[in-house]
Chains A and B, each alone.
Chain A
């Protein structure tokens, strides 16, 4: 071994050994924190990209499911056979769940929670939410609007989040630090497995009942479940816990269920088929990914 190594070993035997060992340990911890920050940046980029895609999908589906494009502009289709609130319910519930999951994921990234990034994130989310609310209002009140303005509103909804996601992705890519493949896979904890299963069944039921002409009792039950999710957000039964434990399989499954629900909303609003059957089949397809994923293991990385 080199002289430098011998010197270091000798340093451990003399009176300054304690201080030397402490300084080495502190240096090691500091580096660990910086590596953790770089990994968190990648996770944040993925979460922001996901929310940008979810927002864009939701905005586009809102238009597809409730609008008809005529020569004079965009208007809400008359004579839909199912209540418009069912469609909106179908779109907003998964979007709300996605937002809660994304918040849960962000909460476990302390390194990226500076005051500036938090403020920036809130501004961007508010801009996107405002554009979505405008679209929602136009859809509900059947206000005619020209196509360029409509496209502009969709862009306003998706652009801020997309820009944020792109910036984070570029930063994360430049960081040159990435998590290697996990060596251990373990089943989800019991409470997370149950909540994942219930979430899948709930979203599936949401799709299955959306085609019914009268689904008020179910809508009330669904809204109650939504409130329960809000109330238990930070508990061990909450969505934050899901976001912490879920692996790639569960996230992909949720993404599939989310996109299928959006697709179902558009189909239900436009198809001539039997809406009850379309809703039921769609609901099964929506529920299946999350229910299956609740029994799949998730990766565990050594701390």
Chain B
């Protein structure tokens, strides 16, 4: 469908925080909750909400684990999440480049 690249933007990635979460997870990494919170310079509550939305969208998986005796919550992007992020980034790049509507 012809249209402005904004139509390719993913609803689940529209907030800067959710976009940042997926950007952090895109390179085949596992990140634990507190490390991600520190990396993104946000707070527990906001990050929990963002993760909940992304999890509902099927863009990330949450896994509980331990490092030593300490419980940790590990986050990983799903293939669907990685694919959605790629499309979203392509749309952002098109907008950033000031492109005309895509064919």
Contacts and interface: CB of A to CB of B under 8 A. Distances in A.
A177 B31 contact: yes
A13 B4 contact: yes
Contacts of A5: 11, 14-15
Contacts of A148: none
A34 B30 CA distance: 14
Interface in A39-71: 39
Contacts of B89: 25, 28
B14 A9 contact: yes
A177 B31 CA distance: 4
B72 interface: yes
Contacts of A179: 28-30
Interface in A1-29: 1-2, 4-5, 8-9, 12-13, 17-18, 21-22, 24-25, 27-29
B15 A176 contact: no
- Where chain A touches its partner, the secondary structure class is helix
Contacts of A117: none
B27 A302 contact: yes
Interface residues of B, number: 34
Q: Which of A2, A12, A18, A302 has the most CB of B within 10 A?
A: A12
A27 B41 CA distance: 12
Nearest to B82: A302
B28 A182 contact: yes
Contacts of B26: 32
A28 B76 CA distance: 16
A21 B35 contact: no
Interface in A217-276: none
B20 interface: yes
A301 B26 CA distance: 11
A25 B29 contact: no
A180 B40 CA distance: 20
Interface of B: 4, 6, 9, 11, 14-16, 19-20, 23-24, 26-32, 34-36, 39-40, 67, 72, 76, 82, 89, 92-93, 95-98
A303 B27 contact: yes
A302 B26 CA distance: 9
A154 interface: no
Nearest to B97: A18
A42 B34 CA distance: 17
Chain B CB count within 10 A is highest, among A18, A21, A178, for A21
A235 B59 CA distance: 41
Given A22-B96, A25-B93, A178 B29 contact: yes
Given A39-B29, A180-B28, A28 B14 contact: no
A1 B14 contact: yes
A31 B96 contact: no
A185 B19 CA distance: 29
Contacts of B34: 176
B15 A4 contact: yes
B31 A176 contact: yes
A173 B72 CA distance: 12
Contacts of B30: 177-180
A28 B4 contact: no
B59 to A, nearest CB: 14
Nearest to A39: B29
A303 B29 CA distance: 11
Given A21-B92, A38-B35, A173-B67, A1 B11 contact: yes
A21 B24 CA distance: 17
A36 interface: yes
A175 interface: yes
A9 B27 contact: no
